Amino acid sequence: MFAKIALLNIVKHAKRSVVVFVAVALAVLVLCAVGGVIRGISDTVLGSIVPTAGHIVVTQEGAKDAPNPYDLKFLIPQADSRLAGLHDDRITVQESVLTFTALLVEPVGTDSKKEARNLGMLGQGVRPDTRFLANIRGGITQGAFLPEGRGILLSNQAARLLGVKAGGTVMVLTSDRGNNPWYQELPITGLFTSGSDQVDLSTFVVSQDTARSLVDAEGMSREFRFLVKDPDTAPDVAAALRSQLQGQGLRVEPWEVTFSSLLTILQFLTILTVIIRAFFVVVAGSVITNSILMTVFERTREHGTLRAIGLKKRQLRGMIVTEGLLLGGLGSVAGLALGIPLVLVLSQIGLDLGSATESLGFASKIYPALGGVDLVFDFLFGTLIALVASLYASRVSARRSVSESLTHT
């Protein structure tokens, strides 16, 4: 009967019901959207780590702690054969990468009066079919990722700063392992926009063969990168690789160790997002609570009348709570019905947070994502806040005497 009377009240008090319904729906919608953005930031951070560097990285001992980690003395000799000798069923991808520093210079030809523009950058020598550098591979705007032969892939920003174009060439100045200067003029076979200014301004890509010829490091690589089926097993797989590489002067690190500073940032972001979410929870909770209390207390005289004609205290409480629960539940469903498509649309078009994430070294554009747990939380939040608020309101209303309620102004 409570449900019947509550439904009757909801329908008959349409304006008040709409106020509570909209308050709950908006609160849940905001929570859903904020949750999606927060998850998107988190995914972007993690997404920046793994597709770039893999779950496990093998480098020369001492390279990581050296003043110049890109010093060519830290290259791994016989890289291809040593990488091929590593096995573990949990590994899905294993590649060697040759990272090196270089100065990219605009080719000015015989025009000696023109000052050549230049840019100090980090070269990534990878296989043309690499599974890494996802942000670059996915951001090709012109040309292809890497050609079979010689070629260089530059960001649009770097090309603009150097005054070069796809189809043209760029001079790549390096030093070989004997510290002798060396250069090659490479055709620009493609341009990309990674979504991160930092990546765009610091990174270019060449084939590993080209990289090896640029730094005179035949058969060498800077590091081995691995992807595993289950990221949680990365430490175990790293331990297995460590035993296979024992005595070879190589250091094996799972991504949690390699990117410990990034993980610290991620932990900070997580705490920040919890605070942001808590803030929205408090604000949304206040909105829902206030709208419910307002709509219940506004009807104190009506409640007095109903009690005067025989409604019991517990029936009054049941009626108010049922109304709150129905409106909370329906409002939460409506909030999710609006929030989920919103997050899905944003997950396709992305949100440009500009310097906010750029300064942390991640892509400026983040893609909000839905999380099942978040959605359950949002629904329960809207419903439970409405329930708690209506429980409180019903208690206050039922505690008033009938005569007090009837004379309430």
By CB under 8 A, is residue 403 in contact with other proteins?
A: yes
Report the first-to-last Cα separation within the chain, whole angstroms: 29
**What residue spans of 298-371 are helical by DSSP H?**
300-308, 313-349, 355-358
> Which are the contacts of 395, defined by CB distance < 8 A and separation ≥ 6?
317
Which of 64, 131, 277, 313 touches other proteins (CB under 8 A)?
313
By CB under 8 A, is residue 395 in contact with other proteins?
A: no
Grouping H, G, I as helix, E, B as strand and the rest as coil, residue 408 is: coil
Radius of gyration of the chain (CA): 31
Residue placing its CB nearer to other proteins in the complex, 229 or 399: 399
CA distance 269 to 41: 8
Minimum Å gap between C-beta 309 and other proteins is: 5
C-beta separation of 121 from 202 below 8 A: yes
C-beta separation of 33 from 223 below 8 A: no
Residue placing its CB nearer to other proteins in the complex, 6 or 188: 6
Give the closest residue to 397 by CA, choosing from 307, 302, 305, 297.
297
Stretch that binds other proteins, among 126-134, 268-276, 364-372, 399-407 (CB under 8 A): 399-407
Minimum Å gap between C-beta 405 and other proteins is: 9
Residue placing its CB nearer to other proteins in the complex, 15 or 113: 15
Minimum Å gap between C-beta 401 and other proteins is: 7
Give the closest residue to 227 by CA, choosing from 300, 132, 292, 305.
132
Beta partners for residue 124, in sequence order = 99, 205
Stretch that binds other proteins, among 170-178, 267-275, 290-298, 400-408 (CB under 8 A): 400-408
- How far is CA 158 from its chain centroid? 25
Minimum Å gap between C-beta 21 and other proteins is: 16
Residue placing its CB nearer to other proteins in the complex, 212 or 303: 303
Residue placing its CB nearer to other proteins in the complex, 311 or 387: 311
Tokens matching residue 24: 């709950």
Q: Determine phi and psi for 71, rounding to 5 degrees.
A: -60, 135
By CB under 8 A, is residue 373 in contact with other proteins?
A: no
By CB under 8 A, is residue 409 in contact with other proteins?
A: no
Minimum Å gap between C-beta 312 and other proteins is: 4
Residue placing its CB nearer to other proteins in the complex, 12 or 113: 12
Which of 8, 278, 349, 356 touches other proteins (CB under 8 A)?
8
Give the closest residue to 59 by CA, choosing from 307, 188, 303, 241.
241
C-beta separation of 170 from 107 below 8 A: yes
- Total residues contacting other proteins by CB under 8 A comes to 25
By CB under 8 A, is residue 260 in contact with other proteins?
A: no
Binding mask 289-308 for other proteins (x = CB under 8 A): ------------xx-xxxxx
Q: Determine phi and psi for 351, rounding to 5 degrees.
A: -120, 125
For tokens 């990168």, name the residue. Answer: 225
Chain positions 78 to 137 lying near other proteins, rule: CB under 8 A, are none
By CB under 8 A, is residue 233 in contact with other proteins?
A: no
Residue placing its CB nearer to other proteins in the complex, 4 or 73: 4
Minimum Å gap between C-beta 386 and other proteins is: 21
Minimum Å gap between C-beta 296 and other proteins is: 15
> Which are the contacts of 191, defined by CB distance < 8 A and separation ≥ 6?
140, 141, 142, 143, 153, 154, 155, 156, 159, 166
Stretch that binds other proteins, among 72-80, 178-186, 211-219, 311-319 (CB under 8 A): 311-319
Minimum Å gap between C-beta 394 and other proteins is: 14
By CB under 8 A, is residue 314 in contact with other proteins?
A: yes
Does an H or E element contain 162, and which?
helix 156-162
Length of the chain: 409
Using CB under 8 A, list all residues that contact other proteins.
Answer: 1, 4-5, 8-9, 12-13, 301-302, 304-315, 401-403, 406
